[in-house]
Amino acid sequence: MNAPNAPPQLPEPAIGAALPSEITTRERRGFIFLLGAANLFFLGLDLRSSWPSAALVTSGRIVLSTALLAVAFVLREGSNEVAARRVVRALALGAALAFGAIVWGTGGTAGPYAAFFGVLPIVFTLAVPDDLVATLVFSTVCGAIGVARATVEGLAPSQIAFWCLAHASSGGYAVASSVLHGRLRLRERRAERAARAAAEYQAMLLENLHDAVIGMDASFRINAWNRTAERLFGFGRQEAMGRDVHELIPSKYADGSSMAEILERARAGRVQMEVQRRSRGGEWLSLESTTVALRGSDGEVLGYLSVNRDISVRKRAEAALRTSQQRLQRILETSNDGIWIMDAEGRTEYANARAAELFGFQAEEMLGRPFVAALPESLRSDAAGELDAISRGEPRQVEITLRRPDGTDAWLVLSRSALRDSEGRVTGAVSVFLDVTATRRALGELQQAQKLEAVGHLAAGIAHEINTPIQFIGDNTHFLGEAFTALAALHQRCRGTLAQRCSKEATAELEQAERDLDVAYLLEETPKTIARSLEGVRRVSTIVRAMKEFAHPDQNERVSVDLNHSLQATLEVARSEYKYVADIETDFGEIPAVPCVAGDLNQVFLNIIVNAAHGIESAVSGTHKRGTIRVTTRRDGVEVVVAIADTGCGIPEAIRDKVFDPFFTTKPVGRGTGQGLAIARSIVKKHGGHLSFTSKVGAGTTFSIRLPLDVGKAPRDSAA
């Protein structure tokens, strides 16, 4: 559908041009001069004849010619043509009758005939002015009858010629008059046809116009209503004609004007505006309306023309497009993924809020700037290669690490694809950044948990393996002790017997042998050695038992656990971490068993104890001082509180917010993964508890673990 903004140009009316009144006047004047000239000619001829009636005829003609001339001068341009013609006809008729009467009176016997046949053609011509053929035939017949009669009466040849000329002059008048009238009628008919065709053409145009055309007179009454208007507004032409346009189709203009105001404005010039008009069914139609004032030649406003184009479909399409664009825009804007669109030169064309946030900018700041400018230092190194890849339209999917403006690291999956125009040329690239930090963290925790589980399994297996040799080492050592006791007793009896019953030499020899072998030392030390071995065995078995209790590799369900016992086992396992730098103080209160996954909770205790040991180690390194790790448990209402306090270096204010962040660590590479406290917090959370700390730089840190006793109040959640 083409939609020209200009209203259709109506063809100029051609009716006026079809009626050339000036030319008609000139021709008529010419004709009358000719007639006068012809009469003067005849006057000359009559003067030469001797027939008295001829002189009278000629006089009559002079009178007639003069009268016609006078009328012709009276009929100046601008007069009503029809009225003029009537005057001419009346004068001509009167003159003819006067002429007939003169001929009658002066012609003798021939007078009546001559009068009748002389006047009749003129009367006929005047009565039937347009029928050229009839006039010619009648004139010829009249002429022929006149000639025949003159011949019969034996008139002189000059008289016959005179009659013939008289009749021919009437015929000539008739011919000229008919030609004139014919031409006039022809021209009028042509003009009428042209006007009719123009009107039909206009009506056709109007009817077939795809726009609703409403014509109004100066008082806004409808005087034109085309078919499209009928169809659009639902009112038939008959219904609409003569009605006030304001009543028939109420309108709401886009700028809030009333229709009266619009029409008022149309007086000054064409008004084009979107408008809503109510149809018969009450539906509001969206239209594009052009209103013009129609003026007469004197500038007076005759009426108005309103051309209305139905733009409902267009409006709906526009609305649908707008909705679609808004939806796309919303998707882009609200996407949780960063979306960054750049042109082939790498300048930012669009960045959504998330993308801007990821890179620490406002979206507006990034627009039009090279993408490199928005990248952090760590990613700028291969920017040239990236730009090259973008201009070649290479897709890319890669995981990147981004140091956020707040200092935290974000893991992003970058997925970039080329934007191409219809001919396949690269016009830019769209990059989507998926923030996988949370996934990475969860994965890290999971890996850590899996590692710990594997280690737990290994520890439990090793513990089993160690238990067997411990069993028989213990048994054997015990047996050795008993055996030695028995042998020592035997030795004592032998010596007694020897002293009583054997010679001094033998006794001295034995004593010498005993001294050589240092038997006294052996007798004294061997039981101690065995006791120490048994103590060692006991310690090994304690450690192994603690390891097993600590690991709990297969336990994923919550069971009631004595936390004091768990803490003891954990301290045992962690001994190597603290034994050179710190002493342990325990203050275990009377606490009820806590429902928990023991292995997980031990992990929390271990992490905190190891951290405490490391904190103390860095505080006391280079000195001979030792720190203290103090572990207390107590009941606090429906909670159990485990506090692990150290006298280490404390946590600086600046990093207190971050100690629970995954992968945050102050320890050297290889010493810590930075996941310990993050995992600890997530484990305590799973138990419905709370992990917090207080710290003073240089004085130490106290971690508090609060665990609920009522498992029902905590969300049950199996350990991942």
Partner 1 sequence: MRATVLIVDDEPNILEGLRQALWKSPYEVLTASGPEEALGVLRERKVDVVISDQLMPGMTGTELLGLVHDRQPDAVRIMLSGHADAETVIRTINEGEVYRFLTKPCDRTELLVTLHLACEKLSLERENRRLLALVRSQPELLASLERAKASSRSTDDRDGA
Helix (H) or strand (E) holding 63: helix 52-74
- Give the pairing type, strands 627-636 and 582-588: parallel
**Quick one: which segment of 6-14, 114-122, 458-466, 690-698 binds partner 1 (CB under 8 A)?**
458-466
Counting contacts by CB under 8 A, is residue 333 touching partner 1? no
CB of 594 to partner 1, least distance (A): 18
* Between 367 and 480, CB nearer to partner 1: 480
Touching partner 1, residues 540-579 (CB under 8 A): 541, 548, 554
Residue closer to partner 1, measured from CB, 442 or 473: 473
Of 338-346, 467-475, 614-622, 678-686, the segment contacting partner 1 by CB under 8 A is 467-475
> Contacting partner 1 (CB under 8 A), which of 179, 191, 301, 470?
470
Q: How far is the CB of 478 from partner 1 (least distance, A)?
A: 5
Q: Does 9 bind partner 1 (CB under 8 A)?
A: no
Nearer to partner 1, 557 or 717 (CB): 557
Size of the site for partner 1 (CB under 8 A): 20
Minimum CB separation from partner 1 for residue 535, in Å?
A: 12
Binder of partner 1 out of 475, 525, 535, 585 (CB under 8 A)? 475
Measured from the CB atom, is 203 or 486 closer to partner 1? 486
Region from 8-16, 125-133, 459-467, 695-703 binding partner 1, contact rule CB under 8 A: 459-467
Q: Which of 479, 490, 655, 698 binds partner 1 (CB under 8 A)?
A: 479
Interface with partner 1, residue 471, by CB under 8 A: yes
Show the tokens assigned to 79: 């007069």
Report the residue number, 393 or 527, with the smaller CB distance to partner 1. 527
State how far the Cα of 106 lies from the Cα of 101, in Å rounded to an integer.
9
Decide whether 392 or 538 has the Cβ nearer to partner 1.
538
223 belongs to the binding site for partner 1 (CB under 8 A) = no
Q: Tokens 């690269």 correspond to what residue?
A: 426
Q: Which stretch binds partner 1 (CB under 8 A): 96-104, 357-365, 404-412, 461-469?
A: 461-469
Note whether 638 and 709 are within 8 A (CB): yes
What does the block give as tokens for 514? 């005993």
Stretch that binds partner 1, among 107-115, 349-357, 477-485, 668-676 (CB under 8 A): 477-485
Stretch that binds partner 1, among 14-22, 279-287, 463-471, 645-653 (CB under 8 A): 463-471
Q: Which of 382, 482, 509, 524 binds partner 1 (CB under 8 A)?
A: 482
DSSP state of 593: -
Burial code of 114-130, b = ≥16 C-beta within 10 A, e = fewer? bbebbbbbbebbbeebe
Give the CA distances from residue 242 to residues 208, 216, 220, 296, 300, in Å, rounded to whole numbers and listed in that order.
Answer: 22, 9, 9, 20, 21
| Shortest Cβ 529–partner 1 spacing (Å) | 18
Asked whether position 469 contacts partner 1 by CB under 8 A, the answer is: yes
- Regarding 79 and contact with partner 1 (CB under 8 A), the answer is no
Residue 134's Cβ-count burial label (10 Å; 0-12, 13-18, 19+) is middle
Length reported for the chain: 720
Q: What SS3 string covers 126-172?
A: HHCCCCHHHHHHHHHHHHHHHHHHHHHHCCCHHHHHHHHHHHHHHHH
Residue 478 in the binding site for partner 1 (CB under 8 A): yes
Binds partner 1 by CB under 8 A, chosen from 450, 476, 492, 497: 476
Q: Would you give the DSSP letter of residue 17? A: G
CB contact at 8 A, 284 and 278? yes
383-391, long-range: CB < 8 A, 24+ apart:
386/346, 387/345, 387/346, 390/342, 390/344, 390/346, 390/416, 390/418, 390/426, 390/428, 390/429, 391/344, 391/345, 391/346, 391/426
- C-beta closer to partner 1: residue 509 or 554: 554
Cβ nearer to partner 1, comparing 551 with 684: 551
Residue 5 backbone dihedrals phi, psi, to 5 degrees: -75, -30
| Sheet strand arrangement including 212-217 | 222-225, 212-217, 301-310, 284-295, 271-278, 251-253
Among 172, 474, 527, 536, binds partner 1 (CB under 8 A): 474
Q: Of 644, 655, 651, whose CA–CA distance to 607 is shortest? A: 644
Given the rule CB under 8 A, which residues bind partner 1? 463-465, 467-476, 478-479, 482, 537, 541, 548, 554
